[in-house]
Amino acid sequence: MFHCVYFNAKVIVFAAKRLLTTTPVQQPLVNLKHSFFMPMNSTDSQIKEDMLLPEIEDKPPMANRFRGYLPVVIDVETAGFNPKKNALLEIAAVLLDMDEEGIITPGETIACHILPFKGSELDQAALDFTGIDPYHPFRMAVEEKHALPKIFKPIREAIKINGCTRAILVGHNPSFDLSFLNAAAKRSGIKRNPFHAFSTFDTATLGGLAYGQTVLARAVKAAGFDWDSERAHSAIYDTQRTADLFCNIVNRWSTLTRDAENSE
């Protein structure tokens, strides 16, 4: 499957280059958005970046595994479902390492407790679900504008070390996490967000494919890991278990494809 997708991407990139040199930009870009399954509200700079990513040689193995993107596992805990109105309360990130054989493993964990932004709404049902007291002094929480740089700095460093172009968010139903991350970055005036603007890897989908389970706790157990319900719904714990699940599925796929190639 991955070989077919990669081949098609190269063909589309070649066609895109030809179109961009012979016709106005607006019309071919609309068609190419559909070809790449890109949202219609994507920025032109993001679209062009995705279309024209070069084929990378002599780079760390991670640079070649996901089209030059570095997967970073993210989980957020919030005070509701609306990223523009409800507060971001916790964020955790797990960086991933890859050896020369292409096996990925969870690496460093970075996390912050965050104070609700000014004027934010706190949904009591959400707070009851997570058990978070946003203003508890022992949380040692900081404002968004201080928390996000702490998360983003090691991610940018990992992107550079791994020869990648940008981070791509890995999460369980990650559109939720990415929406809160992007909203917080915008409120904080952060212009260099290391994450892809809209693409993600979803462990709910991958868990359903690999184990027939879409609920995080069930997918983690199906993959052979422990699940502690009392520690769940904290950003650090959920991120670490999501990282275990993602690595397990990617490594399992790599083993299956390698065995299939060796049997031919």
- The residues assigned a catalytic role are 233
Residues in the chain: 264
Which positions ≥6 away from 255 have C-beta within 8 Å?
none
Alpha helix segments (H runs only) across 83-223? 124-130, 144-161, 174-187, 203-211, 216-222
Cα 221 from Cα 228, distance rounded (Å): 10
Q: Residue 190, CB half-sphere, CA atoms under 13 Å: how many?
A: 21
| Two tokens, residue 42 | 């994507």
Provide the 3-class DSSP secondary structure of residue 74.
strand
Amino acid at 228: D
Cα 129 from Cα 135, distance rounded (Å): 16
Do residues 167 and 69 make contact, with C-beta atoms less than 8 angstroms apart? yes
Radius of gyration of the chain (CA): 20
What is the number of helices (H) and of strands (E) in the chain? 10, 5
